[in-house]
Structure 1
């Protein structure tokens, strides 16, 4: 890799159809790149996240994730895409550890199906400290559209997002957002994203969702989000499943951007802690050279 030149692969994740799902940029053999160079590449590539694959002293591989305007500790779809691209030419099942700024996580590659599963961090929830009426107004919905009896909370499995449960998928479709206003709506985590979701009427989905990115993300909306889908799995287990110690289901996302994709989510109790894993497919859309 030359100092001012690299190859970027566009990997479309949570789909097997190029142009659908969520795109991530992936740069292999990125050990010689500085943080400033990785940020410049991510800005020019323009994806919601670009992932840089490096060697690790404590895991099988290191992944660093850059939005167009900042580095983020973890990205679900970026992890699925990067590991799929890193391993898809090796036709054997593999279990890897990945070093991230959110900790060391496990990923599994299943060669027959071409899917990648990733463990996320232990789930955490914090009550929403803002005004629900003001939040709904900003999203273009009414307080009456919220799912009765289910709280709005900050959720974390590696990255903080605000979970907003609503009654119907059609409410998701009418939402609007201006993420420059998010810091005023999110006092505890002003750079967090907002992730509304609704119970689905489709037999193969439990929930449908949208994801409005945080103020410094460089994009307004992410098509299909892995980390936030994992948080929904933990939310479902903690707030909705009174008798279950494990839940497994599929979330659909991306309709609003015509980039629909599906995320398989598992959540289970390990003692009192909630553990989460997500699973998805990927495909290569294109490769392109980038100077920086």
Structure 2
């Protein structure tokens, strides 16, 4: 029976049993999408990353939730990067481009302990909407200060400082329209928000995506990459720290790089390392992006 190296990383945290869990599977050939989808459904993480090194020694990466493929995932990219480093396939201190459906994503691992992973993600653009849908306001129990759509497909709601974000009990089944595909609820950091690497955080958010098969994603790199530029402009800073007070908490540092891109940095905890035994992956080069510069 075919066996593939696999591991599970808890991303954007140095604490065991916190952060956002992601499976990582190392392939020897480009697998078919239905097989990868079935593996992701069995692993039951919010996302599972699949890595394949093509004949030109370029690494390609795809991400699957338990129910669908997604075009971008920050925490599973961090997990994939730590996986390559753990397997001896990526040297510390060197930058490596990963080819994805969102373009070439540069990643790097530091030489420290625990190693710090940096990844450059597209940030998209927040597009102001006149107001939040009435049904969303009812679910939140308060009116957002601002509400945006985005090219990534996520909607973003900014709440007042006193809004009880950490205690929000979102009825994800009642989310409607585009909010179901990805809803970021954010606010400025509170006095009770934990620090990150000894420094205070600047903002906090939670992320809900029942339309992607994830009621709540614990620590979401793509969501932070989307909203970090707004907080940088709002706070007049090029480096900020974001926190996610979910049931599995964690956070990350965001830095401005080139227009339209944000560098996220965070740590991860290796929870398990082993093999999966799942025959029938097939051989399908379709859908595996060619690496391009971001």
Normalised TM-score (structure 2): 0.82
> Which residue number in structure 2 is paired with residue 231 of structure 1?
226
After TM superposition, give the deviation of residue 289 of structure 1 in Å: 4.7
* 2:261 aligned partner: 275
Distance 2:56 2:229 in 1: 28
In structure 1, the partner of 2:118 is 117
Tell me whether 1:247 sits opposite 2:238 in the alignment.
Answer: yes
The answer to whether structure 1 residue 79 and structure 2 residue 77 are counterparts is yes
Q: Mind listing any 5+ residue stretches in structure 1 that lack a counterpart?
A: none
> Aligned equivalents of 1:58 and 1:230: distance in 2?
30
Match of 2:204 in 1: 208
SS at match of 1:36: helix
Could you tell me whether the CA contact under 8 Å between 1:56 and 1:99 is conserved in 2?
no
Residues 1:12 and 2:5 are matched in the alignment: no
1:168 paired with 2:161, answer: yes
Q: 1:251 to 1:33 in 2, by over 3 A?
A: same
Query: Are the structure 2 counterparts of residues 58 and 32 from structure 1 closer, same or farther at C-alpha, using a change threshold of 3 Å?
Result: closer
Which residue number corresponds to residue 49 of structure 2? 51
Deviations 1:266-287 (A, max 9, x none): 135x5xx443111111121013
**Count of residues in correspondence between the two structures:** 268
- CA-CA distance at 1:180 after TM superposition: 4.1
C-alpha spacing 1:247/1:160, structure 2 compared with 1 (3 Å): farther
User: Structure 2: which 5+ residue stretches go unaligned?
Assistant: 194-198, 279-294
C-alpha separation in 2, matches of 1:222 and 1:107: 22
Q: Does 1:61 align with 2:59?
A: yes
Structure 1 residues 170 and 30: CA distance shift in structure 2, 3 A: farther
RMSD of aligned alpha carbons: 2.5
- Counterpart residue number, 1:97: 97
Q: Aligned residue for 1:262?
A: 251
Are the aligned partners of 1:12 and 1:23 in contact in 2 as well (CA < 8 Å)? yes
- 1:113-154 Cα offsets, whole Å, 9 max, x none, are 411111112532223376443212123x211xx34xxx3112
CA–CA distance in structure 2, aligned partners of residues 132 and 183 of structure 1: 9
- 172 and 6 in structure 1: CA distance in 2 versus 1, 3 angstrom threshold: same
Equivalent residue, structure 1, for 2:292: none
Q: TM-score, normalised by structure 1?
A: 0.82
Structure 1 CA distance for aligned equivalents of residues 263 and 96 of structure 2 = 14
Could you say if the C-alpha distance between residues 77 and 275 of structure 1 is closer, same or farther in structure 2, counting changes exceeding 3 Å? Answer: same
